[in-house]
Amino acid sequence: MPGELSPYNPRVRLLATEQAAVTTAQPGAAGTATLLSQTSLSPSISRFRFRVDKPASWKPGQYVVFDFSDELGMGYSHMRDDDPQSLNDDLVRTFTVSSSPPSADSEPAATEFEITVRKVGRVTEYLFKRDGKKKGLEVPVSGFGGEFVMDASEAEKEKKVYIAGGVGITPFLAMVGSKLEKNVRLFWTVREADLGLVADALEKIEGLGAALRLFVTGARAEGELGGNVDKKSVFGRIVEEGGQVWERRIGREDLVAEKAEGTKWMLCAGKPLRSKVLEWLAGETVTFEDFDY
Ligand SMILES: Cc1cc2nc3c(=O)[nH]c(=O)nc-3n(C[C@H](O)[C@H](O)[C@H](O)COP(=O)(O)OP(=O)(O)OC[C@H]3O[C@@H](n4cnc5c(N)ncnc54)[C@H](O)[C@@H]3O)c2cc1C
């Protein structure tokens, strides 16, 4: 029987030649970000807006790398029995930029950007502490990067199908901006408790309702709140605008029905959904983002 892994097991540290340039950049190489605001979207998801003191440059779908070691680092220790996972943690964290960059090169470079974050661990819990003192929080930015972008040759494809699991919607939020093109279909799976994230996206993105195929799991009793929003009104709005909602998991048939010549598939989801979708769409070219920690 396999034994339990030691809590002191460090994360795998890649050689400099094995990792993307941005993660090896010096903390603060892309400036210092100051937290301006936090908007709660669901009990465990918030949007954070930052201002950077250097011009920020990213493509829709790319991520920002923060270094929280100044803020949360505890210095060197050999063992730490009360919190063994904090050992060997470099406190460098990656989040997709969920806001769009300026639309034309002629516009001034961005000095503000947003991330949309689920609270899961040490750094995100720290970000979520809303005691008023976290406004003004300053974090060094190592850089922006990532390959999950729509390249120019594919932007013109006749049909685009985006598949997002929960907070995996973030790169698509940046790609879509404030208006969804007519040739896009978005398959999105969310927990009912996160419906506030869906309601917010419907408010901000014109045409989203019509393009949306929403799969809601963890459903509660009729009329109950999904986070801070009424699920009936969210579902009603989507259906009214021409979209579809199911209270079940997404399945193979949902996606296979979308197969068509010249479709651009993009996927951003955690490991379990990602591997299922890639299996269902075997034979198709699916561009996917790896959200694993
Ligand atoms: C390219 C990319 C883009 C991303 N974009 C986003 C985004 O837009 N929004 C978003 O919310 N997240 C995003 N993530 C995920 C985010 O970076 C992680 O969730 C991050 O680790 C959170 O930091 P944390 O300190 O709060 O949690 P961590 O302390 O890093 O823990 C994260 C999770 O891993 C578990 N965990 C940690 N260490 C171990 C271990 N040793 N063994 C087993 N489990 C462990 C924790 O219990 C927790 O569930 C992205 C990740 C990548 C790689």
Tens digits of per-residue pLDDT, 86-144?
667 889 999 999 999 988 777 788 999 999 999 999 999 999 986 556 668 999 999 99
Ligand 1 binding pocket (C-beta < 6 A) is 63, 85, 93-96, 115-118, 120-124, 146, 167, 170, 289-291, 293
Name the average pLDDT for the chain: 86
**Secondary structure class of 58 (helix, strand, coil):** coil
pLDDT at 77: 61
Domain 152-290 is in which class? alpha beta
Q: What is the ipTM of this complex?
A: 0.91
Cα distance between residue 257 and residue 252, in whole Å: 9
Cα distance between residue 287 and residue 100, in whole Å: 20
User: What's the one-letter identity of residue 291?
Assistant: F
Mean pLDDT highest for which of 26-30, 155-159, 210-214?
A: 210-214
> Bridge-partner residues for 103, per DSSP?
none
pLDDT grade, residue 28 (50/70/90)?
confident
- Work out the average pLDDT over 51-68: 95
Say which residue, 209 or 222, is predicted with more confidence.
209
pLDDT at 136: 81
- Work out the average pLDDT over 240-250: 97
pLDDT at 250: 98
Residue range(s) occupied by CATH 2.40.30.10 in the chain: 20-145
Residue range(s) occupied by CATH 3.40.50.80 in the chain: 152-290
Say which residue, 160 or 158, is predicted with more confidence.
160
pLDDT at 158: 81
Residue 22 has pLDDT above 70, yes or no: no
- Work out the average pLDDT over 11-33: 66
User: CATH number for the 20-145 domain, one of 2.40.30.10, 1.10.357.10, 3.40.50.720, 3.30.200.20?
Assistant: 2.40.30.10
pLDDT grade, residue 199 (50/70/90)?
very high
For residue 256, the CA-to-ligand 1 centroid distance in Å is 30
Backbone angles phi, psi at 47, to 5 degrees: -100, 135
Using the Cα atoms of residue 232, residue 234, residue 236 and residue 239 in order, give the sign of their dihedral.
negative
Cα distance between residue 92 and residue 194, in whole Å: 26
pLDDT grade, residue 152 (50/70/90)?
confident
Name which residue sits closest to atom 52 of ligand 1, judged by CA.
Answer: 291
Q: Identify which of 49, 95, 274 to mutate to test ligand 1's pocket (most ligand atoms within 8 A of the CB).
A: 95
- Cβ neighbours of residue 258 closer than 8 Å, sequence gap 6 or more: 159, 161, 185
User: What's the one-letter identity of residue 40?
Assistant: S
pLDDT at 226: 47
